């Protein structure tokens, strides 16, 4: 596996652990619908958090959250719509980003709730 893929998988694992410590239940990881992938689907109370995880080894080219582009948002909305309909859910949907910077020995994690809106 390429080094950047390994870093991404490690970042997703760190993000899931971070969310669990904050009281979220991880419902699913890497949900795929057509060309869209949701990194983490987590629930806390009546909120279904759709979490995009961005992990970077360097901040030289910008913050991790800056790499969530409009096309990715569009794909996430499409995927979560399918997920909610196919699972007949009645929950509030929130789109979050977990931005992770691999600081060699540690991971700096920032959880951005309501990172974007889908309407």
Alpha-carbon gap, residue 106 to 115, rounded angstroms: 24
Alpha-carbon gap, residue 85 to 108, rounded angstroms: 35
The per-residue pLDDT for 20 is 97
Strand partners, 112: 97
Strand partners, 36: 33
Neighbours of 16 (CB within 10 A): 19
The pTM score is 0.89
Instruction: Tell me the pLDDT tens digit for each residue of 63-93.
Output: 778 778 888 889 999 999 999 999 998 889 9
The per-residue pLDDT for 119 is 55
The per-residue pLDDT for 1 is 54
Ranges of the chain whose pLDDT falls below 70: 1-4, 118-119
């Amino acid at each position: 596996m390429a080094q950047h893929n390994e870093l991404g998988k490690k970042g997703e694992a760190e993000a899931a652990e971070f969310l669990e410590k904050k009281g979220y239940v991880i419902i699913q990881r890497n949900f795929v619908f057509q060309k869209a992938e949701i990194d983490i689907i987590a629930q806390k109370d009546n909120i279904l958090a759709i979490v995009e995880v961005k992990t970077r080894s360097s901040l030289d080219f910008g913050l991790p959250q800056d790499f969530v582009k409009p096309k990715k948002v569009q794909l996430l909305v499409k995927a979560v719509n399918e997920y909610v309909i196919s699972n007949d859910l009645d929950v509030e949907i929130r789109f979050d980003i977990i931005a992770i910077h691999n600081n060699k020995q540690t991971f700096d994690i920032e959880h951005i709730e309501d990172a974007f809106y889908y309407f």
